[in-house]
Amino acid sequence: MPVAKTEYDAIVVGSGPNGLATAILMQQQGLSVLLIEGQDQPGGGLRTQELTLPGFKHDVCSAIHPLAEGSPFFETLPLSNYGLEYIFPQIAAAHPFDDGSEATLQQSITQTAATLGADALVYQQLMAPLVKNWPLIAADALGPLSVPQHPLAMASFGLKGLQPATVLAKKFNTETAKGFFAGMAAHSILPLNKIATSAIGLVLLANGHLKGWPLPKGGSQSIADALLAHFRFLGGALQTGTYITHLNQLPSAKAILFDITPRQLLQITGHKFSSIYKWQLERYRYGMGVFKMDWALDGPVPFKSAGARQAGTVHLGGTFNEIALGEQQVWQGKHPEKPFVLVAQQSLFDPSRAPEGKHTAWAYCHVPAGSTQDMTGIIEQQIERFAPGFKDLILARHTFNTHQMEEYNPNYIGGDINGGAIDIGQLFTRPVLRSSPYRTSAKGLYICSSSTPPGGGVHGMCGYHAAKRALRDVFNISLK
């Protein structure tokens, strides 16, 4: 698609949720903004396609969105005006065990706690203060390191969140509660003995109690479509099918913001940066990869536990020790025989995802970065373990190894869907240690991807904060 103009106030490269957030916030200030996407379809990790059979709609990357519906920036936008509708499963997530028992995340803290047996009171005491305080600290927690607006509430969260999951889990006495928490913390895509792995689990739990874990009707693409529609309504310009490899491909602009990771940023603009900034980018660490699968099914996944049959998301991995061992093995470059598997069951709640009477399933497990090992059999066996008869329902399957994930979305370096390891060394200082992580050493060039705080997830907050920085620096526009 040709560029309509030769000069813009700002250009955003990459149309994932952060690129879209960046473009919208800058366009809201009356600037002329061009959004450039390498693929023909905008969205980044927000895409839905018929990957298996006609009529079966699969979310190519992200599927369930607890942080999208609760994003401090997205919630200010009239996205429902553009057809975006969230569906909220009553059971946001289920964690089944081998004996058919389960723990479930529901909006009610009390109902969730009731599934944890003897640890019910411990869970309530852990989560009630965080659920109360999260609306006060969300904007600070989902942003760069700064003086918080509510320091006591933030400190309370930090004291718990900065603990390794292996430490915080010791609050619980039962294997049920420990395993349940392990499944939440494993979303960090880090070994559970790493500092701050508890934070990811606590944030997901808090959002589950506040707003649930929704799935967008029609597929994740509908989030991107709504964001893009609003950007265009504001007067923004879009150019697709243009993969940027060098700055000279871009029209003139006062500010350029990149929804890409440090590796691509160096390739495109490295000659513009100071030696110390380049050195820091070159040392940026990517995390574990994922092996991702989609299925067209002849019926719903036949989980043994009732809660898992009614959940939008299912965590498969059994006990805390099993999940912790699997994540540690992946970190060490090994492929677990029983990996932690995340499963999403969108068609249970959204009939538009599959032909009548049929269903879809979505899943991935963590693997070493750059792995090409086929995990199909291992993932399907892990599902079969908790859902006997699952394999008999498979009509067709589609797989992505880490190389194919990166080929599909260049931001997924080595299959890393978080834009870099979110450990304590890269939690607030991603991608580099600077007064602003979004500003590069080159005037007018910024990074707005998940390689900046707060990291991975469909929330747009990386892009929001990057846009605020650029608006202040380049256009002398200061936003609260």
Q: What is the DSSP string of 396-416?
A: EEEEE-HHHHHHH-TTSGGG-
Per-residue pLDDT for 179 more than 50? yes
Distance separating alpha carbons of residues 46 and 44, to the nearest angstrom: 5
Report, as an integer, the average pLDDT of 386-393. Answer: 98
Distance separating alpha carbons of residues 145 and 258, to the nearest angstrom: 21
Sequence spans of domains, the chain: 7-51+59-84+216-285+421-475
Among the ranges given (1-5, 420-424, 431-435), the one the predictor scored with the smallest mean pLDDT = 1-5
Per-residue pLDDT for 3 more than 70? no
* CATH number given to 7-51+59-84+216-285+421-475: 3.50.50.60
- Helices 120-141 and 151-161 pack at an angle, to 10 degrees, of 120
Percent over 90 (pLDDT), the chain: 95
Query: Is residue 181 a contact partner of residue 210, using CB atoms and an 8 Å limit?
Result: no
Query: Is residue 217 a contact partner of residue 86, using CB atoms and an 8 Å limit?
Result: yes
User: What's this model's pTM, rounded to 2 decimal places?
Assistant: 0.95
- Amino acid making up residue 267: Q
In this prediction, residue 203 has a pLDDT band, given cuts at 50, 70 and 90, of very high
Longest dimension (CA), the chain: 66
Task: Tell which residue, 134, 160, 139, has the closest CA to residue 149.
Answer: 139
Q: In the chain, how many H helices and how many E strands?
A: 15, 16
411 to 206, 260, 289: CA distances (angstroms): 28, 6, 12
Q: Tens of pLDDT along 117-158?
A: 999 999 999 999 999 999 999 999 999 988 889 999 999 999
User: To which H or E segment does residue 31 belong?
Assistant: none
Higher-scoring residue by pLDDT: 110, 428: 110
Distance separating alpha carbons of residues 32 and 29, to the nearest angstrom: 9
Report, as an integer, the average pLDDT of 258-276. Answer: 94
Q: What is the pLDDT of residue 480?
A: 81
The DSSP bridge pattern shows strands 311-316 and 91-96 to be parallel
Distance separating alpha carbons of residues 186 and 323, to the nearest angstrom: 8
Q: Tens of pLDDT along 207-237?
A: 999 999 999 999 999 999 999 999 999 999 9
Per-residue pLDDT for 351 more than 50? yes
6: Cβ contacts below 8 Å, ≥ 6 apart: 251, 252
Per-residue pLDDT for 444 more than 60? yes
Per-residue pLDDT for 270 more than 80? no
Among the ranges given (76-80, 414-418, 433-437), the one the predictor scored with the smallest mean pLDDT = 433-437
Task: Tell me the average pLDDT of the chain.
Answer: 96
Neighbour tally for 260: CB within 10 Å: 28
Per-residue pLDDT for 159 more than 60? yes
Q: Sign of the C-alpha dihedral, residues 43, 44, 50, 56?
A: negative
Task: Tell which residue, 427, 444, 479, 439, has the closest CA to residue 143.
Answer: 427
Q: What is the pLDDT of residue 422?
A: 93
Query: Is residue 61 a contact partner of residue 220, using CB atoms and an 8 Å limit?
Result: yes
Q: What is the pLDDT of residue 36?
A: 97
In this prediction, residue 4 has a pLDDT band, given cuts at 50, 70 and 90, of low
- Amino acid making up residue 276: I
Report, as an integer, the average pLDDT of 279-287. Answer: 96
396: phi then psi, degrees, rounded to nearest 5: -165, 160
Distance separating alpha carbons of residues 236 and 229, to the nearest angstrom: 9
Q: What is the pLDDT of residue 70?
A: 85
- Amino acid making up residue 237: A
Task: Give the burial class of 124: count Cβ atoms within 10 A of its Cβ; 0-12 exposed, 13-18 middle, 19 or more buried.
Answer: middle
Q: What is the pLDDT of residue 166?
A: 98
Q: What is the pLDDT of residue 446?
A: 98
Q: What is the pLDDT of residue 307?
A: 97
Peptide bond into 339 cis (omega under 30): no
In this prediction, residue 5 has a pLDDT band, given cuts at 50, 70 and 90, of confident
